[in-house]
Structure 1
């Protein structure tokens, strides 16, 4: 009997997943792809709520091959995913969380997308149920893109289709030392190593479910874990991408999504000891990875907060955070005939604070919201260059006449 390789291995890590696991597995059983083309590898991570028993009942009942592995609790999602990945035989692997579910045509469409375009990662559109998933990458379907040419860096969850050959070639596994952000590290590495990424935006492939009991893993963990996650992702980016514009474009993500929230409204409620500890944890990251290129990709208030973190100035940071929390609109100051828009957040041009004007200078995408702003066009830049060249030539010509007269 010839055993054919499955197209896709669905890896499910389950811990105390009832009753959500029932709908999760029902969505796998309802897939339109031929059952013989998929395999399910489910890892019960020490559940005590009947999740393991339900997985075994499912395996005994359905047409598709299902492997159930039961183990002691590992403490996080990385362990079960790695165990499942180690057992996977499919050409592709899809990581499905036990409290979420798939759209009926998800696997069929994603496998077809990868096969048609030869891409190593496929992102299927995500919708939230009692949760709000990232939105900016679902504008349109993209047969082939990369992490620099799209917004995919803002979705680094593991719920993607990965070509298993890519993962094995680079020995990729989830980092079990991280308690949060482990999927961001794995997915970013896959993006960077992939021979192309596809985005399937015209069909909902994945339903991200917010648990009523509040036990979803992303909601747990203290602030120190966020800094661990930021550090790991920044180190990975620095390792795989040379310094410059491309690295800055990717570093923008951990600074904005992971680091900055630690210095948002919650910072006002932190004790003095916690505030100081956060600044200490941020200091080496700011020293190593904070650049003008990263700063220039942020909004003014985001840049200002991180500038003050980099300068280790909590006494200046607190009024800025209070201003942001109050959701006040900073006044706009237009200079240079409307070509420069400065946003007047706290400490602007205060001699004692000594914050450079450049920190308050709005980038074009932010400045366009203000009446009177005049954006520099390629034509205006060229005109200025021509005028400057004429002045130089005129000055040289005048100097030549003066020398001849002498």
Structure 2
């Protein structure tokens, strides 16, 4: 009897109406430098009528690695096919590859080696775009071992990562089939939080995100309510898994900035009053539950201002801010405290009629550094003095300060 060794990685491809992009996608799988004996492919045709299923079967017949093709009725979204593939996977790791995207030739070999070398449960490979803008802020350096709190990986929550299958099975992790968009963000954030370490491959393009000319990207389709569903699910997950405090606040930035904020940007100007009201009704419970000054200060001033206006039920002031930002106007900088504080004069700053608090307009160092005359070292000195004064005050009352 022949004993079949466990593959190192299972590539799971969910495909719906994927032609002709599927051709290059599968070619990139064939070009992998990882030994074909060390990998398997599970491809799920989700009810396509454009030849996707037939092409997958042709690929299975000729490919050097083991390929399983599953054909099913359309499930309505990407979660179903991914879950079907995950249930069949045998590899030590799984990689979710979208049928219209591509792998770098050395991607799987590099990512498997990275995970094996460091014992990490998730490997995030550098993404480049083809007619589509990829995430960028997390590729500054290759990281052998990090986590979601110590790096910028919270801003890449797509499913196209290498996951240790034992982690997924141990926690019964599957994609939420009730979500039409954002299901990958929920899955990946949970994996980050449960993982025994995450690695980042930043020195090699592991994944090519392809912009379809027909515009058939799930993330670009569907109504605005789906975005609020996605934000709500991700916020709830973060709140359930991370205790209140700075670590939770740092993660909440992601759904606020990436998912909620765009609903109150330029498209808000074009919305009917009925849609605006509905957006407010959807957003306000999320802001009431999770918006606070610590989350707010992690955003740029105009982002903070836009979301604060929603939270404060002052959306009548939003159009002025949106128009100002859209026109790429530069706000006047107001330096105070001998250059240690910089306020950015976006609309309604210190307007008696608006009555908005100054702290909304106070630039954090990353923005303040661009202002001539800002004295960051002096500002840091003042902050340290304020912290020492607070500690002395607490000590006098025999109260221990919370850990930073």
The TM-score, its normalising length taken from structure 1, stands at: 0.93
Output one character per residue of 1:186-233: Cα deviation in whole Å (capped at 9) or x when no partner. Answer: 000000000000001111111111111111221111111000000000
Q: Based on CA coordinates, which of the two structures has the bigger radius of gyration? A: 1
Cα pair distance change 1:386/1:196, threshold 3 Å: closer
Q: Which runs of 5+ in 1 are unaligned?
A: 393-406
Judging changes above 3 Å, is the alpha-carbon distance between structure 1 residues 388 and 307 closer, same or farther for their aligned structure 2 residues? closer
- Could you tell me which residue of structure 2 aligns to residue 241 of structure 1? 242
| Alignment partners' CA distance in 2, 1:125 and 1:148 | 19
In structure 2, the partner of 1:66 is 67
Deviations 1:271-312 (A, max 9, x none): 111111111100000000001110010111111111100011
Q: CA deviation at 1:338?
A: 1.1
Number of the residue aligned with 1:102: 103
Shift of 1:384: 4.8
The 1:207/1:335 distance shift into structure 2, 3 A limit, reads same
The whole-number CA distance in structure 1 between the counterparts of 2:200 and 2:388 is: 46
1:125 matched residue in structure 2: 126
Query: Cα gap change, 1:222/1:65 in structure 2, threshold over 3 Å: closer, same or farther?
Result: same
**2: CA distance, partners of 1:100 / 1:250:** 27
- Distance in 2 (CA, whole Å) between partners of 1:139 and 1:267 is 33
Supply the distance in 2 between the matched residues of 1:232 and 1:386 (Cα, whole angstroms).
36
| CA–CA distance in structure 1, aligned partners of residues 122 and 388 of structure 2 | 50
RMSD over aligned CA atoms reads 1.8
Distance 1:110 1:386 in 2: 43
Give the superposition deviation at 1:109. 0.8
SS at match of 2:376: coil
- The 1:312/1:116 distance shift into structure 2, 3 A limit, reads same
Pairwise CA distance, 1:323 = 1.2
Alpha-carbon offset, residue 381 of structure 1: 3.6
Tell me what 1:360 maps to: 361
* Pairwise CA distance, 1:32: 1.0
* Cα separation, 2, equivalents of 1:214 and 1:382: 49
The 1:384/1:106 distance shift into structure 2, 3 A limit, reads closer
The unaligned stretches of length 5 or more in structure 2 are: 394-404
Is contact 2:12-2:43 (8 Å) kept? yes
In 1, the alpha carbon distance for the partners of 2:380 and 2:201 equals 38
How far is the alpha carbon of 1:380 from its aligned partner? 2.7
**C-alpha distance in 1 between matches for 2:64 and 2:380:** 65
Aligned positions of 1:287-326 closer than 5 A: 287-326=288-327
Q: How big is the shift at 1:378?
A: 8.3
* Contact kept in structure 1, 2:107 and 2:125, CA below 8 Å: yes
Q: After superposition, what is the alpha-carbon deviation per residue over 1:324-382, rounded to whole angstroms, capped at 9, x for unaligned?
A: 11111110111111111111111111122111111111111111111111124587348
Task: Check the 8 A contact 2:340/2:378 in 1, yes or no.
Answer: no
Structure 1: how far apart are the matches of 2:159 and 2:254?
16
Q: Which residue of 1 aligns with 2:16?
A: 15
1:185 CA drift (Å) = 0.4
| Runs of 4+ in structure 1 over 3 Å off | 376-379, 381-389
Match in the other structure for 2:82: 81
Kept after mapping to 1: 8 A contact 2:95/2:163: yes
Structure 1 distance, partners of 2:388, 2:297, is 28
The alpha-carbon deviation at position 255 of structure 1 amounts to 0.4
Q: Which residue of 2 aligns with 1:192?
A: 193
Aligned residues: 390
Question: Which residue pairs with 2:397 in the alignment?
Answer: none
Specify whether residues 385 and 207 from structure 1 end up closer, same or farther in structure 2 by C-alpha distance, changes over 3 A only: closer
Could you tell me how far 1:388 is from its partner in structure 2?
8.0
For residues 383 and 327 of structure 1, do their structure 2 counterparts lie closer, same or farther at Cα, with a shift above 3 Å needed? closer
1:2-42 CA-to-partner distances (Å, cap 9, x unmatched) read 11111000000000000111111111111111111100000
Q: Quick one: distance in 2 between partners of 1:308 and 1:281?
A: 14
CA distance in 2, matches of 1:371, 1:116: 46
Q: 1:108 to 1:282 in 2, by over 3 A?
A: same
Q: Matches of 1:286 and 1:386 in 2, distance apart?
A: 29
Instruction: Give, in angstroms, the shift of residue 44 of structure 1.
Output: 0.2
In 2 relative to 1, CA 387–50 (structure 1 residues): closer, same or farther, beyond 3 Å?
closer
TM-score, structure 2 as length reference: 0.94
* Aligned equivalents of 2:97, 2:53: Cα separation in 1: 16
**Corresponding residue for residue 346 of structure 2:** 345
- Preserved contact between residue 82 and residue 96 of structure 2 (Cα < 8 Å): yes
Corresponding residue SS for 1:284 = helix
SS in 2 for 1:32: coil
Q: Secondary structure, in 3 states, of the residue corresponding to 1:76? A: coil
